[in-house]
Structure 1
Amino acid sequence: MSLALIVLARQPSPGRCKRRLAATIGDQSAARIQQRLLAHTVAVARQWQHTQAGAVVSLCLGHHQGSGGLGLRMQRQLGRAVRAGARAAVLVGSDLPGLSVQQIQQAFSALHHAPLVLGPACDGGYWLVGLTAAGQRQQRGRLFSGIGWGGSEVLQQTLQRAAALQWSPQLLRWQSDLDRIDDMAPWHGAA
C-alpha cells in the first residue's frame, strides 16, 4: 500500500452525531445531515481511490475508532495505516459538503514536501490532517496530545506541536466545516 485515506466520522444515528447542530434542529434532522455528509465524503474518497494505484480508503465509524478522545483516535488510525505499509496517510472528517478529489490529491501532494499537512477550518480546528510514515513515527502521539479538542485553538495548538517537532507543515485552503446551524448557510442547497 502506498497511500491511505481514512474517513473518520460519527455514526449517522439520532443522538449520536452532530450534537451542536442537533441542539438547534433536532436529533433526527442532524442525523439526516450527517448521513448525507458521510455519503458525500465516502463517494469523494472512492473517486480519489480510483485515481491512485495501490491506494486504500478506510471508513472508520463510531466505536470502530476505539476508545479515548479525538486526538488518541486520530493517532490510532494514522498509526494503523502506517503499520499496514502506507508511506503517507491522510485523515478527513465528514463535515465538508464541498470536499473534492482535488483537495485530497493536494493533501497527498503536500506530503511530498513536508511531514505534515493540515486543512484549516474557519472555526479554529482543521478538516484534514495528513502525515508521512516518517512523520507519524517521529511524532509518536505528541502532535495530538494536550489539544483542547472542539475549541477554537485546535489548529494553533497543533501548529505549536509541529513547531516543537521542528516541522513546517503544509496548509491547504481554509474552509468552513458544518457543525452549527450558521455553518449551513453556504451549503443550504448542498447538504
Structure 2
Amino acid sequence: MSKKTLAIFTRYPEKGKTKTRLIPAVGASKATQIQKLMTENILKIVEKLEEEITIKIYYTGGNQTLMEQWLGKQWQFIPQQGKDLGEKMFSAIESSFKTTKMPVVVIGIDCQSLTIDILKQAFLALNNHDLVLGKAEDGGYYLIGLKTPQKGIFNNIKWGTNAVYKQTISIGEKHNLSVFNLPILADIDRPEDLVNLPQNIKNLLTI
C-alpha cells in the first residue's frame, strides 16, 4: 500500500558552502556545524513517522557515499534536481507522486521548532485540502504540502525574500486551491535568528 511522502531538503555540510549568511557572525566552521546539527535534529523528529510515511532526503553537495557516512544507510538519499528551489521542490513532489499517487510534504532543516504534531497535522490536512503551508516568521515558509503536483505554485517566486509565503498564497488562490495554514514558526537563516537555536546547538556556540 502506497504511503504519503515527506521530502526533506538539506545540504552536505561542507565548510564555507553552508549557512553562509551565518558565517560573519559565527565563522565558517561553526556555521557548518550548525547546519549539520540542524539536519540531525530534524531527522530525530521525523524518524518517529517512519512507519506511517515514506521519508526521502533530497541533498545538494557531497554524494551518496558521503551522505550515508554522515547520516547512515537507513535513509533514502536523492540528489536535488532543478535550477532554483522551486524547480527542486516541484521535481521532488512530482517524482514521488508519480510513484505513489499520494500527497507529498516538503520541509527544510531551518525550522528547529518543528514538531511531530505539526507534521502529523500537515499530512492530516492534505486529506481535504489541496495546499498546506507553514509560514515562517521571515515571510517564507518552513513547510509546503500538496495533495497533487501543482507546478504553478513554484513559478515566479522571489526565493529567499520575505514575499515567498505571500506570493505562494496568491498563486494558490488564483488556482482555486483550498489552503490549510499551520502555526507560524521561526527559521534560522541569519545572525539575528541564532536566538531560536535549540540548546544542543547553542552549546556549540559557547565552545
TM > 0.5: yes
Q: Give the letter for the 1:172 counterpart.
A: L
Query: Which residue of 135, 149, 155 maps to 1:145?
Result: 155
> After the TM superposition, which parts of structure 1 deviate over 6 Å for at least 4 consecutive aligned residues?
none
The 8 Å contact of residues 5 and 57 in structure 1, kept in 2 or not, is answered as yes
Q: SS of 1:174's equivalent?
A: strand
Where does structure 2 lack aligned partners over 5 or more consecutive residues?
A: 62-78, 202-207
Q: Which moved more, 1:17-26 or 1:28-37?
A: 17-26
Distance 1:26 1:172 in 2: 33
Distance 1:162 1:188 in 2: 33
Partner of 2:58: 60
Q: How much does 1:30 deviate? A: 0.7
Partner of 2:27: 26
- Output aligned runs, 1:42-191, within 5 Å: 42-50=43-51, 52=52, 55-63=53-61, 64-133=79-148, 136=149, 139=150, 141-187=151-197, 189-191=199-201
Q: Deviations over 1:39-93 (max 9, x none)?
A: 011121211123x1xx210011105102310000000001111011141110000
Decide whether aligned partners of structure 1 residues 86 and 23 sit closer, same or farther in structure 2, where only a CA change above 3 A counts.
Answer: farther
The 8 Å contact of residues 124 and 153 in structure 1, kept in 2 or not, is answered as yes
Decide whether aligned partners of structure 1 residues 188 and 40 sit closer, same or farther in structure 2, where only a CA change above 3 A counts.
Answer: closer
Where does structure 1 lack aligned partners over 5 or more consecutive residues?
A: none
Name the Cα RMSD after superposition.
1.3
State the number of aligned residues.
183
Distance 2:200 2:129 in 1: 33
What's the TM-score once normalised by structure 1's chain length?
A: 0.91
Q: How much does 1:114 deviate? A: 0.7
Distance 2:5 2:28 in 1: 32
Larger radius of gyration: 2
